[in-house]
């Protein structure tokens, strides 16, 4: 994967598909929060999969208003994991933040993840939707019983893989760019399953991780992209990582890294 040189502190990578209503609000709030952080040089990269609702056009219009906003258009819907791999080629930040654009992730939590990374120098800092043990910070709002049961089932399935995060299906994270680059090389999932696969492989590769509680609000505008097909792919992914040796690529890469040290 060929990438550009590091030229700023942070790249925020935002894959979009049919988010024209949410994107302007997310960008306004995100710039407002990140601009409060002293000496932070950042950019925002929107990767749009040719959204039928015109999200790409909205993003290009907004790029005239927001400094350091770039829009990468693709010809069709290719999936979340694919968008991360493609967008990473254009990121110039030493750190890369990923987050949802449907307002489920509030941009006010972005500085919390960045501060934790600065304090710990972790390879990955993940947002934890389930909050801290005290219940004071973080939590989920707006999930119906079906979503709660589905989420609980997904977490029970992944526990045997010992993921390094409490919330391995979450998608609000900060990576060191070289770490995300390596994970993009060893993962194969193009859709939402990228989050789970990358979490499992991050654990196998021995990356240093941490997490912070975040507030997760179920989307209000637009439609969810999670359908039955994604849950089927989730189960297939876990099955393949047990029986088909999908982790071998990660183990090989880890051996190479050990030899270089």
Number of folded domains in the chain? 1
Local confidence band at 246 (pLDDT 50, 70, 90 cut-offs): very low
Q: How far from chain centre, in Å, is Cα 32?
A: 20
DSSP 3-state of 174: strand
Residue 169 lies in a domain: yes
Residue 237: its H or E element = helix 228-243
Residue 250 lies in a domain: yes
Local confidence band at 254 (pLDDT 50, 70, 90 cut-offs): low
More confident: 139 or 184? 184
Residue 241's pLDDT is what? 64
Residue 247's pLDDT is what? 44
Q: How far is CA 26 from CA 31, 59, 95, 105, 219, in A?
A: 9, 11, 20, 9, 12
CATH number at residue 31: 3.90.550.10
Extract the tokens encoding 152. Answer: 């609980």
Residue 3 lies in a domain: no
| pLDDT tens by residue, 41-54 | 999 999 999 999 99
Residue 2 lies in a domain: no
Q: pLDDT above 70 covers what percent of the chain?
A: 77
Local confidence band at 70 (pLDDT 50, 70, 90 cut-offs): very high
DSSP letter string over 65-92? TSTTEEEEE-SS---HHHHHHHHHTT--
Is 226 a residue whose pLDDT tops 60? no
Residue range of the domain that includes 98 = 8-260
Is 141 a residue whose pLDDT tops 70? yes
Residues 20, 144: Cα–Cα separation, whole Å = 25
Identity of the highest mean pLDDT range in 58-62, 143-147, 228-232:
58-62
Q: Are 13 and 98 in contact (CB under 8 A)?
A: yes
DSSP letter string over 198-215? HHHHHHHHT--EEEEE-E
Residue 1 lies in a domain: no
Residue 121 lies in a domain: yes
**In this structure, how many other beta carbons lie within 10 angstroms of the beta carbon of residue 251?**
14
Local confidence band at 150 (pLDDT 50, 70, 90 cut-offs): confident
CB burial class (10 A; 0-12, 13-18, 19+) of residue 65? exposed
Local confidence band at 244 (pLDDT 50, 70, 90 cut-offs): very low
Q: Are 45 and 11 in contact (CB under 8 A)?
A: yes
Helix, strand, coil share (%) of the chain residues, nearest 5: 45, 20, 40
Residue 168 lies in a domain: yes
**In this structure, how many other beta carbons lie within 10 angstroms of the beta carbon of residue 220?**
11
Residue 166 lies in a domain: yes
């Amino acid at each position: 994967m060929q990438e550009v040189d590091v030229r700023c502190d942070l790249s925020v990578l935002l894959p979009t598909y049919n988010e024209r209503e949410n994107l302007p609000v997310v960008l306004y709030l995100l710039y407002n929060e990140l601009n409060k952080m002293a000496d932070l040089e950042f950019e925002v990269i929107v990767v749009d999969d040719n959204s039928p609702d015109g999200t790409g056009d909205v993003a290009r219009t907004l790029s005239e208003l927001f400094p350091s906003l770039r829009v990468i258009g693709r010809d069709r819907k290719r999936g979340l994991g694919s968008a991360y791999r493609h967008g990473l080629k254009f990121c110039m930040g030493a750190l890369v933040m990923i987050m949802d654009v449907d307002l489920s992730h509030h941009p006010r939590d972005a500085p919390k993840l960045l501060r934790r990374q600065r304090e710990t120098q972790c390879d990955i800092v993940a947002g934890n939707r389930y909050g801290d043990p005290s219940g004071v910070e973080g939590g989920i709002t707006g999930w119906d019983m079906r979503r709660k049961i589905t989420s609980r089932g997904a977490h029970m399935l992944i526990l045997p893989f010992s993921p390094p995060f409490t919330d391995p299906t979450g998608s609000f994270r900060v990576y060191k760019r070289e770490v995300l680059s390596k994970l993009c090389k060893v993962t194969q999932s193009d859709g939402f399953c990228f989050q789970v696969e990358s979490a499992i492989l991050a654990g196998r590769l021995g990356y240093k991780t941490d997490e912070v509680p975040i507030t997760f609000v179920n989307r209000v505008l637009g439609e969810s992209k999670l359908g039955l097909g994604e849950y089927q792919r989730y189960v297939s992914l876990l099955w393949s990582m047990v029986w088909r040796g999908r982790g071998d690529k990660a183990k090989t890469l880890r051996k190479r890294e050990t030899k270089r040290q």
